[in-house]
Amino acid sequence: MSQVWTYPPELVEAIGRLGVAPKPETPPRFVRDHLSELYRYEIRALKMRLLAGDFPKVDYVGHVIALRKKYWPLSFTPQQWEALCGHGTLSPPE
What residues does each domain of the chain span? Answer: 2-90
Tell me, letter by letter, the H, E, C secondary structure of 19-36. Answer: CCCCCCCCCHHHHHHHHH
- Looking at the chain, how many residues does it have? 94
Give this prediction's pTM.
0.85
Over residues 29-47, mean pLDDT = 98
- Express each pLDDT in 48-66 by its tens digit: 999 999 999 999 999 999 9
Tell me if residue 55 falls in helix, strand or coil. coil
Please give the Cα distance from 31 to 85 (Å, whole number).
11
In the chain, % of residues over pLDDT 90: 87
